[in-house]
Every structure is written in structure tokens, then in C-alpha cells.
């Protein structure tokens, strides 16, 4: 039996919908396939569809919450009090929960995706902010004012700059 594909009526039907995704390409072809060695090959039709995430949906549901978490965490660098630890620990847990939610919505793949790299930078930033807060509390309790000032200045100057540079590099790498 020979299979052929009528290209004028083949494709994705109008009632097919994947919320948050767009169909961007369709490819179909026929080939002969032998399922047992040295047997008669059968004709088969192969349909392949390319999908992409909707940009607005991805930004609103994925990156906006993380950006808000990072912004609040970076603004917490202005606080020298111990309450900063509670705020940053909450931000870290919130980022983990949102990450779990997002990874459930996408298929598993064997390589690092943009979201994976984005989350590495996010976790790195949140951990460094949290560690700087812990050091400030430790040095404050030990009455080591000079060390508190050093950690505070280092945190306030370097963490936001490194974070912004890493995110910019990631987005530039992704866009090229």
C-alpha cells in the first residue's frame, strides 16, 4: 500500500488549541519503513508540528514574578536590620515554588533551557543576598561595626551590578 499526503487539506485543524502555545510550523512527508529486517517496507505518513510559547503569556506568568522577587530582594539590601533575613528567606521560598509550578507546565528535556539558566542566576542572587544578610546579623551581634559596614557596602554595590550583568548576558545570548 502506498500512502500519500494531500498537502492542501493536511495540517492543524481550526479547533486545535494549546493554551499558552502557538503553532509555528507544520511538516509532513511519507517514507517507507521496514519494521522487521529484510521484510517488505510499509508506507507511512509522518506529521511534525513546531510550537512556541506565547511571548506575552510567558513574560506575565514566568518572568514577571521572578523579576519582582529579585527587585524586592535587591531593595532589601538597603535594610541593615535582622528582618531582612525573613524577607529574603520568603523570597527564596517563593522563587522555588514558582519554579516548581513552571517546570510542571513544560516538557522534560535533557538539556539546560533558558528557564534553567534564568533560575540559576535567580537562585544565585537570592542566596548571595541572604548570605550577606546573615553576615550583617552575625557581625552586628558580635559588635564588629567595621565588618558590618564592609559587608553592607560590598552587598549594596556588587550584588545588583553582578545580577544585572548576568541577566543581560543571558538575554543577549538567548537573542543571538
- The more confidently predicted of residues 71 and 31 is 71
pLDDT at 6 over 80: no
Question: Looking at the structure, do residues 87 and 119 belong to the same domain, yes or no?
Answer: yes
Same domain for 11 and 43, yes or no, is yes
Three-state helix/strand/coil letters over the chain: CCCCCCCCCCCCCCCCCCCCEEEEEEEEEEEEECCCCCCCCEEEEEEEEEEEECHHHHHHHHHHHHHHHHHHHHHHHHCCCCHHHHHHHHHHHHHHHHHHHHHHHCCCCCCCCHHHHHHHHHHHHHHHHHHHHHHHHHHHHCCCHHHHHHHHHHHHHHHHHHHHHHHHHHHHHHHC
Cell numbers placing 83: 528582618
Mean pLDDT in the chain?
86
Do 115 and 34 belong to one domain?
A: no
Residues 59 and 142 in one domain: yes
Tell me which of 69 and 54 has the higher pLDDT. 69
Alpha-carbon distance of 173 to 60, in angstroms, equals 21
What is the predicted pLDDT for the residue at 145? 92
Digit-coded pLDDT (tens) for 22-38: 888 888 888 888 888 88
- How confident is the model over 139-145, as a mean pLDDT? 93
Sign of torsion over alpha carbons 161, 163, 165, 168: negative
Q: Of 22-26, 36-40, 83-87, 127-131, which has the strongest mean pLDDT?
A: 127-131
What is the rounded distance in angstroms from the CA atom of residue 141 to the CA atom of residue 65?
A: 34
174 or 156, greater pLDDT: 156
Q: Point out the least confidently predicted range of 47-61, 86-100, 138-152, 158-172.
A: 47-61
Same domain assignment for residues 105 and 30:
no
Total domains in the fold of the chain:
2
The answer on 144 and 67 residing in a single domain is yes
Q: Are residues 26 and 1 in the same domain?
A: yes
More confident residue, 42 or 138: 138
Mean pLDDT of 36-43: 83
- Say yes or no: 115 and 134 in one domain: yes
Which CATH number does the domain housing residue 111 bear?
1.20.58.390
Give, in order, the Cα–Cα distances in Å from 35 to each of 40, 41, 45, 133.
Answer: 9, 7, 15, 63
pLDDT at position 165 over 80: yes
Q: How confident is the model at residue 4 (pLDDT cuts 50, 70, 90)?
A: low
My answer on whether 22 and 104 are in the same domain is no
Residues in the chain: 176
Shared domain for 83 and 168, answered yes or no, is yes
Residue 74: CB partners within 8 Å, gap ≥ 6? 125, 129, 159, 160, 163
41/61 same-domain check = no
Which residue range(s) make up the domain with 61?
Answer: 55-175
How much is the pLDDT for 12? 76
- Say yes or no: 87 and 20 in one domain: no
Per-residue confidence (pLDDT) for residue 2, from 0 to 100 = 60
Which of 86 and 107 is assigned the larger pLDDT?
Answer: 86
Amino acid at each position: 500500500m502506498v500512502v500519500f499526503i494531500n498537502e492542501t487539506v493536511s495540517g492543524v485543524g481550526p479547533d486545535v488549541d494549546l493554551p499558552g502555545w502557538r503553532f509555528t510550523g507544520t511538516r509532513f512527508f511519507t517514507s517507507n519503513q521496514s519494521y522487521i529486517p529484510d521484510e517488505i517496507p510499509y508506507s507511512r505518513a509522518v506529521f511534525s508540528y513546531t510550537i512556541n510559547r506565547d511571548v506575552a503569556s510567558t513574560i506575565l506568568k514566568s518572568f514577571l514574578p521572578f523579576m519582582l522577587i529579585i527587585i524586592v530582594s535587591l531593595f532589601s539590601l538597603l535594610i541593615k536590620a535582622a528582618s531582612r533575613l525573613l524577607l529574603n528567606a520568603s523570597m527564596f521560598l517563593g522563587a522555588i515554588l514558582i519554579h516548581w509550578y513552571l517546570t510542571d507546565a513544560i516538557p522534560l528535556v535533557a538539556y539546560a533551557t533558558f528557564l534553567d539558566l534564568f533560575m540559576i542566576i535567580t537562585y544565585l542572587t537570592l542566596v548571595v543576598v541572604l548570605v550577606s544578610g546573615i553576615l550583617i546579623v552575625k557581625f552586628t551581634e558580635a559588635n564588629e561595626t567595621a565588618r558590618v559596614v564592609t559587608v553592607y557596602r560590598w552587598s549594596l554595590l556588587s550584588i545588583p551590578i553582578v545580577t544585572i550583568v548576568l541577566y543581560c548576558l543571558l538575554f543577549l545570548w538567548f537573542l543571538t
